[in-house]
Structure 1
Amino acid sequence: MSAGLAISLDAMGGDHAPDMVVRGADIARQRFPQVRFLFFGDEARLKPLLKDFPALAATSEIHHADTVIKMEDKPSQALRGGRGSSMRLAIDAVQSGSAHAVVSAGNTGALMAMAKFVLKTMPGIDRPAIASFFPTMRSESVMLDLGANIVCDASNLVQFAVMGNVFARTVLGVREPSTGLLNVGSEELKGHDAVREAAAILRQANLPGRFHGFVEGDDLAKGTVDVFVTDGFTGNVALKSIEGTVKLYGYFLRQSFGSALLAKLGYLLARPALNALRARVDPRRYNGAIFMGLNGICIKSHGGTDAFGFANAIGVAVDMVQNGAIENMKRDFDQMMTIPGAVTGTAAV
């Protein structure tokens, strides 16, 4: 299924680039042996690294880039001065058709600004959104927006719901996704106007799956729905809260098992189960946030990830391409255009 599929990589993006990027691509190559990789970065540094991975080198191309977008660079600065950067050239490869998707662990703001400038937004979409998935009691769910749009109106939230629906189908493999709007209560009268207007529109929508209605913060861990929709401010706070809670419980477990000799013996007995738990909540497994709503697939890897995490971000890109995420999204938005208020967010509540 992956024959002829090319992924462009910002080889210089991330805390541990380019070594991490090359090693991550080699891990991904073993999972997707027919995928080609286009590395954009410092050729003098990339060539020696690829020599250590001959199988990867045989299916890869190096495209030299003179400059690198730094983590501290402002998006406007990156747009003005980053035309020859590894990030910009990797995005350009998607726009020109040389690659099917781009993956970068670099500066998030710069990547979003460049991707939006080069790839443009799809018809019917006002703003792209950042989406990612996480483990729940039930399975896995996707949430968006995660920080790209702080203030959103009803039409923005409806657009995010369509994007999340496509993500759930193409990446999570859910045929009939359920969608919920994150709110301060599940009752229909709860929440501000934008959330209630978006709910009224989504109740009329003919998207695959079903619209669940309003969901609350504790529904995130339960996995009450497959797609959680919210504004970027709330989504980012919720995501960071989840990540912090996981670290807190990990800290408590280490303290508890190291508190006494019997506790240490208990750890030895429980180690297989704890290893399984660690693997289940390993953030590297869920690495790869997607900039949804663009005319091209752009994946943002965590800047501090290792090769295993970066390989999973590449896997998200491959899944999006193979399952026709862009085509599905365009089709769904064409259907939404026929629903009153779906574009302007003015449906009656």
Structure 2
Amino acid sequence: MTSFVQDQWYVAAYAREVGRELFSRTVCGESILLWRTRDGAVTAMSDRCVHRRFPLSEQPSHLAGDTVVCGYHGFTYGADGVCVAVPGQTRVPRTARLRSYPVAEQDSFVWVFIGDPARAEGTRIPRAPWLDRAGWTVVSGMEPLAARSSLLVDNLMDLSHETYLHGGYIGTPEVAATPITTEVDEEAGIIRVSRHMADAECPPFYADSTGITGRITRWQDIEFTPPCLYVLHSRIAPAGVLPNPDGTDPDAFHVEVVYAITPETESSTHDFWAVARDFALDDEAVSEYLAKSNRTVVLQDVTALDALERVIAGEPDGHQELSINIDTGGLAARRMIARMAQR
């Protein structure tokens, strides 16, 4: 039995990845074919021909107008997944149709709905508006993770690991030393974890991108919408600088770090990451620096989580874990995801 949360929207790709070439990605164990029609709309369907299961993303399969032609025997499908032509006969079998997935473009992502298509319209797609909003500049990427998605959720909900795993990039002693607050909003389906550091060392990730020298005020406010969208609201300012009473914050730098956590299989994950900033908007050097640095940080996580997956996969069920205060956000996420899976 699958452990994937069904009847949910998941990120399948960045919008920039999907065009007039057949493109495939596995989401929650389902191989999905993505492509754009001639008018630019994204369509999503099963990446397996109904005839002999040939992957439609493999050459010599190709697009012919707004149809997909299987490169093995020529079965041809419309944008709705319905077969419109088969070789050697004029009658198309009534059951010759691919599974079609509800699909949506939002906030630079292509989302697909996994589960009962009839429930898609009534299911909210989580938002990350900074990725496609004026006044923000974004760098982004995706790294494959040879580990189950729950390990990435644990990793992101507890940022104390920055001090140890990401020292020299984003980690400083204050991150691990500062207590957190955790709030679970059951009605909204959001878990919030906050860590506010009043006087902290400025890590290279922020010093080299903002130009701040000396100590900083550093806020980390996490919002996680299970099962798949994580946002870290990061605020950086010189030590002692706080937002104005009216809520404006002109003397700080703001970074929105977004992760779309998409299970590929039971033991592998697509780790989509993006960093949006409200400063140095047209500075290509800053963009290049943040892209390179954040990818390095992501790859450090990948290495650690891949190792952890190997350990867990090789241990008998029922191994013990020790959890402490820093794990409250991650444990809340586990509980909420487990309830969603049961439903």
**TM-score, length basis structure 1:** 0.30
Q: By percentage of residues, which structure has more helix?
A: 1
Higher normalized contact order (CA 8 Å, seq sep 6+, divided by chain length): 1
**TM-score, length basis structure 2:** 0.30
Q: Which has the larger radius of gyration?
A: 2
